[in-house]
Structure formats: structure tokens, C-alpha cells
Amino acid sequence: MISRRKLLKNLSATPLVGGLFGTGFWSVSGRDAGDARSGAPNLFEELGVTPVINAGVTMTFLSGSLMRPDVLEAINSTAHDFANMYELQDKVGAKIAEMLQVEAAMVTSGAACAMVLGTAASITGKDAEKRKMLPFPPGPRPEVIMQKSHRYVFDQAITTAGAKIIEVEGANEMEKAINDKTVMALFFNAARESSISHEEFVAISKRHNIPSFVDAAADVPPVDNLFKFQKIGYDLITFSGGKMIRGPQSAGLLFGRKDLIEAAKLNHSPHEAPIGRPMKVNKEEIFGMYAALKAYLELDHEKEWQDWLNRIDQIKSKIEHIATVKGETRINPGPANAFPSMLVSWDQDQVKITPRQVYEALKGENPSIVTNVRRDEEMNEILSVGVVLLKPDQVDYVATRLKQVLQNAV
């Protein structure tokens, strides 16, 4: 299995080809309901930005996900009046807390921001002096406990807030590592290996009276994960807004214990100068994040899942007309990106093109179709076509283009 990070590296290593193939996008794919106002300028065209069809998974560099129609409506309908940001954050937070059955919640500028604010809250509590001094609080440097196998690219957020990461392996080491300087313990939910279970991690944190934080940023579906960690007893939980919840890309959720959320808010905009001021969320995105979560919780998740499987069948039936081409449904076990996509394989003696060449060809089109290249058990490259981020009318288009590229290599 190729990791999200590796994938990202691979993708960014390939040159970006785009904007070279005319401007047929809208006639091919149609516009979303949200931008269908007739006469609105096409800014993709005006600026020469290549539109992307995301036949992969949510990727930050591919602009995350597409906001649900409910979110666009929330943004449009709230953009025409001012609001008091303290009141808005409080009221939206209270509502989100109720929806997620936790004490308190807030909208952040993404999960990475939630990690900065959660750490800041754990360092400062409600102490105004300490707040002003972050990331250099008075006294010895605060410490955050993490499992060695959980270290990842996003833990720089902990350092950003002024804390130092202490690596541990196993429950015993965690117990021993906790001292007067320890302010928090962070669990990366999608880590490949854990030497400490969620339950142990929370129990040890509670025993020593330090907040436990779980980063589950990309870990819906299943929707149940939005409720899982508060039941385990975590004090702070974060999810990205701009992944499969399909809220604004630069929004996210931080929720959990009331005193900590209060302290996190004090470390955030609209307060004048705390560590989180450069991470503000605008009014529309706060409303938008609320609308996204509400719509996501109300969704018929089984139906959506079935729809994803149907999309795979639809593409399969088109491409399997070419001799030796096979589509296979693969359900990512998660916890991140736990949804179906399609692996496509063929006999390269008959269809004389490599998976990477297909990936490059589709990516170079306009609109650019971005699939993924993964590795199978034998470490051979294999093409992966994602379906969960396609707009309905893009399913057939992706199938047609993929078929054409394969057909041309016969």
C-alpha cells in the first residue's frame, strides 16, 4: 500500500502539464448547480487555470474536496450581512457540540490549525499572559507525548504552538515520560502501528491529568468516527472540514472538553494577537462548516456507498471491452480514505502502455484527470481510479477517456 505522503511525493515529482489542450471543460462536464448563474465569468478560463477532475482521493494540493451545495448556499446566503465573530463562533460551536454529543466545539482553519490551537490551549489554559507569549511560554519548554510510530508531517503544529514532542513506545514508557512539563498527549489515528491502544492512551492521560488529543483528520467515512473518540474519552478531537465532510477546504473541527475549547478559542481570531490569529476562519466558512457537517450527518451513507460501487461498475463495463483489461473494486481499509476505488490492470503485452503512462496521459488532458498510481503486493505499479470525488456526469467521461487511452495502446 502506498502511503498518502508517498503518493503526494510521487505526484508532485511529476511535471504539471496543463492548459495546453483547449478549453472544452464546461461543455464536457457541465457546471455545478452552485456556479450555474448564467453570465458569470469562467475564471478558470480567464486565468488559464486547468480544471481538474479528481479521480483519486482528497488531496490538499488538488483543493481538497468539492463543497456540498448546502455549503455553497450557506456561504452565499450569509455573505451579505455582518456578524459578531465571538457570537458566531459560540453559537455554531454550541450547535456542533450538540450534533456531535460533546461538551464543546469550534470551527478552525483545518485540522492542522486545530492541532496548534489544542496544543496552545493545553499550554495556556485561560492564562492571558501565557497566551501573549506563545510560542515561547515562560519556564521550561512544554512537552507533548507522542508514540514514536505516530510521528508524521503534521506534528509540526505541536512545535508551532511552542511545545516539544517526546517520543514514547508502549504504555510503560508513556507513564514514565509524563512529568511536570507534560501538557498534552497526541494520538495520530491513521498511524500504521500503535504500541499503545486508544483506551490505554486515554487512561494514562487521565491518570496524570493531561489532555489527550486525537487527530482523525481524514477518517470519515464511516460517519460513526465523528462520535467514536469522545466515547473513548479523548479530551480533544479534530477532523478536517475539506476532506470527505466536503466543507470549505480551509475549515475544520476541534471538539471535546469545554474548558479546553474555551482556551483554544482564546488563542484564536478574533482575539487580537494570539498564536492562532494568522489562522482565522471567515464568517462564511464558519457557517459553511456547520452546513457541511449537518448535511453530512443527515446523508444516507449506505446509499452513497452503493452509488460509489455503481460508479465502479459503470466504468468497468466500459473499459473491460478491451481485451485483458480488468477493473477491480478495492476498499481502502482506512482509517484514512476508507472508501472504494477501482484498480485497473491489463496485460502489457497486449495493451502496450504502463500504468504510469496512463496516469500521465490523463493528467495531461484538459480538463486534467488525476488518477493515482499505487503498488500491488508484488510492488508492481497499478492504476487506481477514484470515484468518490467525481461529479455524476464525470463518471462516464472518465470511463470514456480511460478507455480511449487504453484502446490507443492496443
Ligand X SMILES: *Cc1c(COP(=O)(O)O)cnc(C)c1O
SS3 64: strand
245 binding ligand X? (CB under 6 A): no
Q: Residue 306: exposed, middle, or buried by beta-carbon count in 10 A (0-12, 13-18, 19+)?
A: exposed
Residues 334-343: b if buried by 16+ CB within 10 A, e if exposed: bbbbbbbbbb
Among the listed residues 218, 264, 315, 389, the single contact to ligand X using CB under 6 A: 218
Q: In the bound complex, what is the minimum distance in angstroms from residue 150's beta carbon to ligand X?
A: 10
CB of 32 to ligand X, least distance (A): 22
User: Under the criterion CB under 6 A, does residue 227 sit at the interface with ligand X?
Assistant: no
The least CB distance from residue 76 to ligand X, in Å, is 23
Gap between the Cα atoms of 205 and 234, Å rounded:
9
Instruction: Determine, following the binding rule CB under 6 A, whether residue 217 of this chain makes contact with ligand X.
Output: yes
Instruction: Out of 56, 211, 248, 252, point to the residue binding ligand X (CB under 6 A).
Output: 252
**Residue recorded with cell 446509499:** 303
Q: Does 60 bind ligand X (CB under 6 A)?
A: yes
- Binding letters toward ligand X, positions 185-204, x by CB under 6 A: -----x--------------
Considering the complex, state which of residue 112 and residue 342 has its C-beta at the smaller distance from ligand X: 112
For ligand X, the closer CB: 93 or 252: 252
* Residues from 119 through 158 that contact ligand X (CB under 6 A): 154
The grid cell for 229 is 473518540
Q: At what angle do helices 283-298 and 85-100 cross, to 10 degrees?
A: 10
> How many residues contact ligand X, by CB under 6 A?
13
Alpha-carbon torsion 169, 170, 171, 175, what sign? negative
Binding of residue 288 to ligand X (CB under 6 A): no
CB of 360 to ligand X, least distance (A): 26
Residues 405, 351: Cα–Cα separation, whole Å: 10
Tell me the one-letter amino acid at 159. T
Stretch that binds ligand X, among 110-118, 162-170, 171-179, 401-409 (CB under 6 A): 110-118
For the segment 302-341, give every residue that binds ligand X (CB under 6 A).
336
By beta-carbon proximity to ligand X, the closer residue of 252 and 288 is: 252
Q: Which one of 6-14, 106-114, 296-304, 305-313 is the stretch in contact with ligand X (CB under 6 A)? A: 106-114
Complex with ligand X: residue 291 or 319, whichever CB lies closer: 291
Cα angle value 235/240/244 (rounded, 5°): 125
Q: Position of cell 477501482?
A: 342
Contacts (Cβ under 8 Å, ≥6 apart) of 77: none
Q: Which residue is nearest to ligand X (CB)?
A: 110
Question: ω before 270 within 30° of 0 (cis)?
Answer: yes
Please select the residue that binds ligand X; options are 57, 107, 111, 370, rule is CB under 6 A: 111
| DSSP 8-state secondary structure symbol assigned to residue 149 | G
Min dist. Cβ of residue 216 to ligand X (A): 7
Q: Tell me whether residue 4 or residue 271 sits nearer to ligand X (CB atom).
A: 4
Residue 83: strand, helix, or coil: coil
| Amino acid, single-letter form, for residue 172 | N
192/303 with CB nearer ligand X: 192
Distance CA 140, CA 288 (A): 40
Residue 236 within binding range of ligand X, rule CB under 6 A: no
Taking the complex as a whole, how short is the minimal distance between the CB of residue 293 and ligand X, in angstroms?
A: 14
Stretch that binds ligand X, among 70-78, 105-113, 168-176, 389-397 (CB under 6 A): 105-113
* Nearest one of 104, 106, 215 to 157, comparing CA atoms: 215
Q: Binding segment for ligand X among 29-37, 210-218, 341-349, 393-401 (CB under 6 A)?
A: 210-218
Indicate the DSSP class of residue 142: P
**Spatial distance between the Cα atoms of 51 and 300, rounded to a whole number of angstroms:** 29
- Rounded Cα gap, residues 11 and 372, in angstroms: 8
Q: Is the peptide bond before 69 cis (omega within 30 degrees of 0)?
A: no
Which residue, 257, 340, 239, 256, is CA-closest to 297?
Answer: 239
242 or 274: CB nearest ligand X: 242
Q: What is the smallest separation between the CB atom of 160 and ligand X, expressed in angstroms?
A: 12
Binding to ligand X by CB under 6 A, coded x per residue (else -) over 8-47, reads: ----------------------------------------
What is the binding site for ligand X (CB under 6 A)? 60, 110-112, 154, 190, 215, 217-218, 240, 242, 252, 336
